[in-house]
Structure 1
Amino acid sequence: MHYPYEIVQKNKHYSILNGAYSTIANTYTGFISLYAINILHANNQQVGLINSLPAIVSLITTVIGGYWFSRQEMKRKVCGIGILSTRFFLLLFALIPFLPLYQAWVLVILIGLMNVPGSLTNLSWQSLIGDLIPEKERGLFFSNRNRILTIVGMVSTALVGWILNHFNTTNPYPFQILFFVSFLFGLLEAYYLFKHVERKEYSLIDSTKSNHLLTAMKESISEKPFLFFLLSSMLFNFGWQMAWPLFSIYQIKTAGATAVWLSLFTVTNQLSQILTYTWWGRMSERFGNSVMLFIASAGMASAPFLTVLSTNLVYLTMTNLFTGAFLAGTNFLLFNQLLGVSPGKNRSSYITLYTIVIGFIGFISPQIGVWLLSLTGMFWAMNISSVIRLLGAFAFFVVAFKFEKDRIPAILRH
């Protein structure tokens, strides 16, 4: 049973406002590596942990909290409280430069702890929005929503990068102000989350034991679309996330990127996302999520390879412009596919299971990326990431042939 049309439209409006303020509050993430390296003097291991520690914390939190959350009929309150708790850590980030010792390690630990409420927030939001927005409307709505949020993110990132560039690269005060302002926008993010209309009678959560996480793990074996999607996503995410710390290290330490260049990388990446979100939405409705996910993830495989070809900052900016289109498709299609392959009444449990598995991948892969960096150097570490991403892309294509063959263009079926 779906929400009435008027409530769905109202929730769409609040979802966009909530997402816009969330995007602004998250602008700091584009500069957190710069803060860690230039202000707190983080080493490669610590940069790797900044990328990987949140994943293992989220995994543990999800395992512990997933069972409890899967039995909650009302998710809005959990999500709202999670947002407020997560944003509180931004105030603690701002205080780190006042510490006499171990500043980088404190940042690493705080980022990890922040993902305790953050993981529950993400889990509850995915399940909540899956209830509030009918499946047939998700493709168009999320492509439009993502485009709007990307515009907001592009503007806020460009503004922050321009402001930071006016200060000495070792001056902590601009970053401290950034964290405080991000906290304020986080309050607005929570406010519009609480404005969503959620009613118990429309909840798809079933309070029977079929919603237990362990039961969902057993059922997932027989839920072939979910199982194959999960396995393909594991492979792709391993290659995707192992390069995350490598990009930051390469851009800042090797190429010498400053705040304004980091913002340009992000802005150009987001610009191409804006221009392609609607196209990905239309194509996914025409050819299926799995087929388009193959195309998007195959494009994502080129990013590490292209990046290490040059340290020229203009070239790196153009590389981000090119790969942004594929990032837009990957983010949109992964989320849409997860909702699509997760059975309605058990959606929270399946999302929890997916989050746990991908969280484990997110913990080990950045550490392996940093290990490969020390073992083989930047060039080979990045190219290994590209190869694994490409293998993940072909796994998505195999899924398309198995479950969405009728929607694959005839020329590709022969």
Structure 2
Amino acid sequence: MTALRIEANPIPAQSKDVACDRPTVRSSLRASTLDGTFSAVFENVVRGVLISNFLLGLGAGAFEIGMLTSIPMMAHLLQPFGAYLSERTTSRHRYCLYIYGVSRLLWLLPAAGIFAFSHGLLDAHQLSLLALVVLAISNALDSIGCASWVSWMAVLVPAKIRGRYFSFRRSLSGLAALLTIPAGGWLVSKWMGGEVEGYGVALIIAVIIGLISLGFQFRMRDVNPQEEAAAHAAIAQQSENPSAKTSLLKDRNFLTLLLFLGLWTFGLNLSAPFFNFYLLDALKLNVQWVTFYSSAVYGAYFLAIVLWGRLADRIGNRPVLLINCLLTASIPLVWIYTDSTLLSIWLILPLLHLVKGGTLAAVELCLGNIQMELAPKAGQSGYFAIAAAVMGITGALGTTAGSFLAELPGFGLSALFLLSAIVRLLSLTPLFFVKEARSHSIRQLLTTQGQRFAQIGQPVRVKV
């Protein structure tokens, strides 16, 4: 595995549990990378195109497909409760291990239900309901553990290399997804017992791999939230900077970011859950085509994220977000003109998914990193939890509204894609007012590039 250069640890020396030497940081980051890579295999089996195809095979409609996205979004409401619980524990590792271990073991229930369905013990409706119930409980547990995990990463990863490290970690996760989706699609479509039973086999394999990923967390530096909070509280009392003691409700900069996150997530989820449904139901494409397009997304994600990570470390997260959110907002407009012709199947749809993967890499990376940049070190998990809850509420509202509008007579998916593009563009307005210490303004970047091009265009003077 490629080694990362770890710079001086920025964690204050007052926190003896947090501060650690360079080899320990490097070992923790490598273990976290392996954890993320194996987790990506699990996540792409229990979410995304494979479970969508599974539910469609059981006769599910647009409402059930919309629930696949709205349930995880609604589960984010539990993140503040999870942050409250995690701050009262004495080990980030044990907390995450118990939460995510139970969450992943639950997926053995739908696997057992699939084989009961194959023997006539369950009908299609009961199996669909079982899968959605397990999805809801699993996502609720994931949300309860998420704020603690993000706080753990914020402590372990030095601020100066967050862009590079998380881009590297996500690129390996994208590569794992790139291999998992076509392999899973092939297993499901070629299984001798049918696609539904094939998905049950894929679930069992995914659960085993998901448990292996948790084993790598034993090699990560543990953090005691109690000692960490006490150290940061002592620093805040000694600090002359009043912003170190600012509460969330008085932090105008973070509240502006929350406004952007809410509007953006609503606009994104108006249409995002229905692209695969559009391919499978409206265009009547085979699931192997859909898995191929999903693999193209992860391929572009894998190639682009390292570039975006390095760029974010140089110019900041905010300008990278602005550029890529603008591109992401225009994607639904192109979907309106797609159909089942060879031009769309072989050219337009692959290009759309490649652009989606490249922009998704930047948006996901910088959305997480900018929260770490703006949240104060004291009480970080609470900030992360509130941000996730806002995104959860607005994302669920967007998915619910999209599901309702998609089934309205005379509205259709094309009108939904157009509405989503408009809302996404309007949601960028608050992002212009967010202030990030390390970021360059768009005007400054354009001025710098313009000066470079002007210098290139000037004639070279040679003294004879």
Q: TM-score, normalised by structure 1?
A: 0.90
Using a 3 Å threshold, how does the CA distance of structure 1 residues 317 and 163 change in structure 2: closer, same or farther? farther
User: Is 1:83–1:189's contact at 8 Å kept on the other side of the alignment?
Assistant: no
Q: CA shift at 1:132, angstroms?
A: 0.9
Partner residue, 1:285: 313
Following superposition, the deviation at residue 406 of structure 1 comes to 5.0
8 Å CA contact retained: 2:188, 2:195: no
* Distance in 2 between residues matched to 1:169 and 1:342, nearest whole Å: 51
SS in 1 for 2:428: helix
Q: Does residue 149 of the first structure (1) align with residue 173 of the second (2)?
A: yes
> In the alignment, which of 59, 84, 93 is matched to residue 101 of structure 2?
84
Letter of the structure 2 residue corresponding to residue 87 of structure 1 = R
Contact 1:242/1:365, CA 8 A, preserved across alignment: yes
For 1:347-358, what aligned pairs fall within 5 Å after superposition?
347-358=380-391
Aligned-pair CA distance for 1:193: 1.8
SS of match in other structure, 1:243: helix
Moved more, 241-250 or 323-332: 241-250
- Superposed displacement of residue 403, structure 1: 6.5
Name the aligned partner's letter for residue 114 of structure 1.
Answer: S
The question of 1:393 aligning with 2:428 is answered yes
Q: 1:135 to 1:208 in 2, by over 3 A?
A: closer
Measured against aligned partners, the alpha-carbon deviations of 1:105-163 in whole angstroms (never above 9, x if no partner) come to 33222211111211123222111111111111211111111112211211122222233
Give runs of aligned pairs for residues 332-411 of structure 1, distance below 5 A: 332-375=365-408, 376-399=411-434, 407-410=441-444
SS at match of 2:190: coil
* Equivalence map 1:4-403=2 (5 Å): 4-28=21-45, 29-30=47-48, 31-38=50-57, 40-59=58-77, 61-97=78-114, 98=117, 99-100=122-123, 101-167=125-191, 171-200=195-224, 204-206=228-230, 219-312=247-340, 313-314=345-346, 315-375=348-408, 376-399=411-434
Asked if 1 retains the 8 angstrom alpha-carbon contact of 2:262 and 2:394, the reply is yes
- Equivalent residues, number: 406
Contact 2:33 2:169 in 1 (8 A): yes
Question: SS of the counterpart of 1:301?
Answer: helix
Q: Determine the C-alpha separation between the residues in 2 that align with 1:324 and 1:87.
A: 26
- SS for the counterpart of 1:372 is helix
Structure with the higher helix share, 1 or 2: 1
Deviation of 1:209 after TM superposition, in Å, equals 9.7
What per-residue deviation string (whole Å, max 9, x for no partner) do you get for residues 379-405 of structure 1? 0101111111122234323325x8677
How far did residue 202 of structure 1 move?
10
RMSD: 2.6
The normalised TM-score by structure 2 is 0.81
SS of equivalent residue, structure 2 residue 195: coil
Distance 1:173 1:263, change over 3 A: same
Aligned CA distance change for structure 1 residues 278 and 54 (closer, same or farther; 3 Å): closer
Tell me if the contact between 1:3 and 1:202 (Cα under 8 Å) persists in the aligned partners.
Answer: no
Determine the C-alpha separation between the residues in 1 that align with 2:306 and 2:361: 10
Structure 1 residues 343, 184: CA separation in 2 closer, same or farther (over 3 Å shift)?
Answer: same
Larger Rg: 1 or 2? Answer: 2
Measured in 2, the distance between the counterparts of 1:243 and 1:170 equals 30
- Farther off after superposition, 304-313 or 245-254: 304-313
SS in 2 for 1:71: coil
Query: Is contact 1:83–1:186 with CA below 8 Å preserved after alignment?
Result: no
1:330 is displaced (CA, Å) by: 0.4
Could you tell me how far apart the structure 1 residues matched to 2:316 and 2:282 are?
A: 40
Q: Distance in 1 between matches of 2:206 and 2:329?
A: 32
**Cα distance in 2, alignment partners of residues 147 and 202 from structure 1:** 33
